[in-house]
Amino acid sequence: MLEYRPLMTSPQPSADNIPALRGIARRNALAAEAMRRLDPLYGPVVWKPRFNALEELIFTVLTQHTSDSNAEVAYDALKKQFPSWIDVLEAGPEEIAAAIKHGGLANQKAPRIREILRIILERTGHFELEFLATMPLEEARSWLISLPGVGKKTVGVVLNFALGMPAMPVDTHIYRVARRTGLIGLKTNVDDAHDIMEAQIDPDDVFQYHVLLITHGRQLCKAQRPLCGECPMADICAAMPVFAKAFEAPKYKRPVRAGQTL
């Protein structure tokens, strides 16, 4: 059993920070309630690695600023063009960029991927990252985040998806859902959201929490027109009154046809 150090420690109560502690407790309770309500809709959630850790890292770099489907095409093309990671490392950035062009920003991602592979080989002598699972969570996180172009979301995906470690990835869908529902504050930035949301639930539930929220963001709590009428969290959602009022605007009203009743 791996020992993980807690990411955030609770401050000791004092007259000055009691409101903040109440806010943390409220959001932690909201996180538990969100999981309880969303699991019947999107679950059951079962952890299963889709790639090994290095494959997950390269794939996640390819997903930056594009869709997963575009990244999948780019990743498959990369592996077809370069059967091994040493082949990628020995290739020129232009060759790599040509292979991954479908994923967008190829001229930026190509040298980044090549440099990541170079550093990993230089540090470890091989192209495997499974050793990270033997580290405390914060050490593994620091090791990965020191790589070029690797941020908290990418680190969270690699550690959680490939290695089963309790790191919380926060993508654009989760960030949107979290701000709307009140799981984080409206002014909380994305980097801070990773830390706050990771601390909201039990480490064993981090993967489930991520999957439930990202699925909810894709299917119901959409960016342009959230389907609030179908949302199991509507009655506890901080943004619901705002959307309910906004959707009363004429532009959201469907025209009534002759003979149609409402």
Active site residues: 153, 171
Distance CA 258, CA 86 (A): 68
Distance CA 242, CA 82 (A): 51
Return the amino acid letter for 86: I
How far, in Å, are 38, 43, 113, 154, 189 from residue 96 at the CA level? 40, 38, 9, 20, 33
Distance CA 65, CA 219 (A): 20
Instruction: Read off the tokens for 153.
Output: 């979301």
Contact between 28 and 189 under an 8 Å Cβ cutoff? The reply is no
Q: What is the dihedral of CA 80, 83, 89, 94, to 10 degrees?
A: -20
How would you class 198 by CB atoms within 10 Å of its CB: exposed for 0-12, middle for 13-18, buried for 19 or more? buried
